[in-house]
Amino acid sequence: MLMQVTPPPQPAPVTATMTMVSSDTMTDAGEPLTYISTPNPEVSSAILTIPPGGKTEWMTHPVPGYIYVLEGTLTVEFEDGHRLTFKAGQAFLQARTKWHRGLNLGSERMRFLAVFYGAKGIPDVLNPPTGSIVSKEK
């Protein structure tokens, strides 16, 4: 007598999905996207955490930077007082030539991933050498 063996059921295939986050040609300050020309390209990344009520130093960037907010709400303040707000899951190209800083005006910590497209030996962030860039702290 022949026995027929039924193979075990196969699990449904697991498929990957991709969700587009952003497609940008301008920075958050309205500057066109440009890449630096260098014989020594380098991509660097960092996760920055700002506690509730915290802020970064004023800064500019000599290289293009892309920001993805991981948690909380990031407020970007420009030297002229203009502010933009980005929530977790949002991304943007970071201003390069306009002085700006990051603020966490919320009650929870804020974290973002910063990815810079630069070159070996060129810093990703430039801060004012001394003092404040604005006459009155806001």
Q: Note the pLDDT tens digit of each residue in 79-113.
A: 999 999 999 999 999 999 999 999 999 999 999 99
Predicted TM-score (pTM) of this structure: 0.83
CA 90 to each of CA 10, 46, 117, 127: distance values in angstroms, whole numbers, following the listed order: 38, 17, 19, 25
18 in a structural domain:
no
57 in a structural domain:
yes
Write down the pLDDT at residue 111. Answer: 98
Write down the pLDDT at residue 135. Answer: 45
Write down the pLDDT at residue 129. Answer: 81
Write down the pLDDT at residue 131. Answer: 55
Write down the pLDDT at residue 133. Answer: 54
71 in a structural domain:
yes
CA distance 124 to 44: 8
Domains held by the chain: number: 1
Q: What is the CATH number of the domain that holds 46?
A: 2.60.120.10
Mark the ranges of the chain whose per-residue pLDDT is less than 70: 1, 130-138
SS3 70: strand
* Range of the structural domain that residue 73 is part of: 41-119
Write down the pLDDT at residue 8. Answer: 85
9 in a structural domain:
no
138 in a structural domain:
no
27 in a structural domain:
no
12 in a structural domain:
no
Burial class (CB in 10 A: 0-12, 13-18, 19+), 104: buried
Write down the pLDDT at residue 64. Answer: 96
94 in a structural domain:
yes
CA 106 to each of CA 6, 17, 26, 90, 120: distance values in angstroms, whole numbers, following the listed order: 59, 31, 27, 16, 36
Write down the pLDDT at residue 6. Answer: 82
